[in-house]
Amino acid sequence: MASVLLENICKSFVPGKPVLDHLFLDVKPGELFFLLGPSGCGKSTLLRILAGLEKQDSGTVKFDGVEISSLPPEKRQAAMMFQNYALWPHLTVFENIAFGLRIRGKKGSVLKDEVMSALEAVQLADCAERRIPSLSGGQQQRVALARALAVRPAVLLLDEPLSNLDARLRDTMRGEIVRICREREQSAIYVTHDRQEALSMADRMAVLQAGKVSQCGTPRQLYELPANRFIGEFLGDINFIDGKITDGKLLTSFGNFPLAGNSGGAVSGAIRPERIKFVSGDCNGAFEAEIIRETFLGDSGEWICRAGETVLAVKEMAPPPRRIGEKVFLAFEPGSLLAMK
């Protein structure tokens, strides 16, 4: 396990259009760190810079405090699990995994044991002699993970590794990756645009926007206290409520509400749908609203309600039946209405 420090990284493929713009990032040893962002935000480029497959225009990359920017890919000890797996089709599963180990001088029974151990970790021990094209997508995915883990890299780089899997296999693999990384205390940087993946697996995560880190922290911190509208929306459904902000309060057509967080410079309030509750009319802070649309999701439900001029989404678990046009009372959970810039 190694720490990773990226300082002032800049990269552009077209002059004047930076993909990474003076980016800073600090990953602690043994941490499963997620880079989250929309397509084109520079997260895969960042991973390739870490692997040495792209050269940054400026800035430094450090592993365990040692500058590695000038090292070629083969000297970096950063094993990557590629998005399309990049398994060598002319080699067997065993040979794919043994490749990196052989380069590191492993041979004979040691080599075999380590390959088999990596295969067992991904539950593919019986596939060692199979050819890559004969494997299913999920199996290929696991071979790619085993290949990256087998060399015991200082840093494991995962580039949207689950993007090609069906939902069920994806859930299983999420658990497997977290388990293996925790067991080995493996420092890993995981790139994805899937917020569920990031929120459910990450120790810490960073959201990239236009080549910069917009916010970095634990999943809970980012979800509950997003730094701006973009992060708020990117990490899940969120209501933005316009109004006048005075003395830490949001003044709206349907009531005045205290804002959490620093309201200086804020332009609106924001609240997650699950933080709005259906309440009785005499409840403190309750305001009246009308249900205008209902989406039944089985174990939960989502309602679109109109309060004054504002449309709000509300989520509730095990919801009772409600009808369109019904007048209801809603209330914000205390401290959940955020001041948003």
User: Where does this chain bind another protein (CB under 8 A)?
Assistant: 51-53, 55, 70-76, 78-80, 82, 84, 86-90, 99-100, 103-104, 147, 151
Closer residue to another protein in complex, CB, 69/200: 69
**Residue 320 DSSP one-character state:** P
Reading across the β-sheet that carries 4-14, which strands appear in turn? 17-27, 4-14, 58-63, 66-67
Q: How far apart are CA 203 and CA 136, in angstroms?
A: 30
**Residue 307 DSSP one-character state:** E
How many degrees, rounded to 5, is the angle at CA 131 between CA 129 and CA 136? 110
Closer residue to another protein in complex, CB, 68/289: 68
Output the smallest distance, CB 100 to another protein, in A: 3
First to last CA, the chain: 38
Output the smallest distance, CB 101 to another protein, in A: 9
Closer residue to another protein in complex, CB, 104/107: 104
Closer residue to another protein in complex, CB, 103/292: 103
Structure tokens at 324: 């369109």
Output the smallest distance, CB 137 to another protein, in A: 16
Output the smallest distance, CB 332 to another protein, in A: 47
Structure tokens at 82: 């590629």
Helices (H), 186-325: 195-201, 219-224, 229-234
Q: Do 141 and 165 contact (CB within 8 A), yes or no?
A: yes
Output the smallest distance, CB 227 to another protein, in A: 33
Closer residue to another protein in complex, CB, 62/249: 62
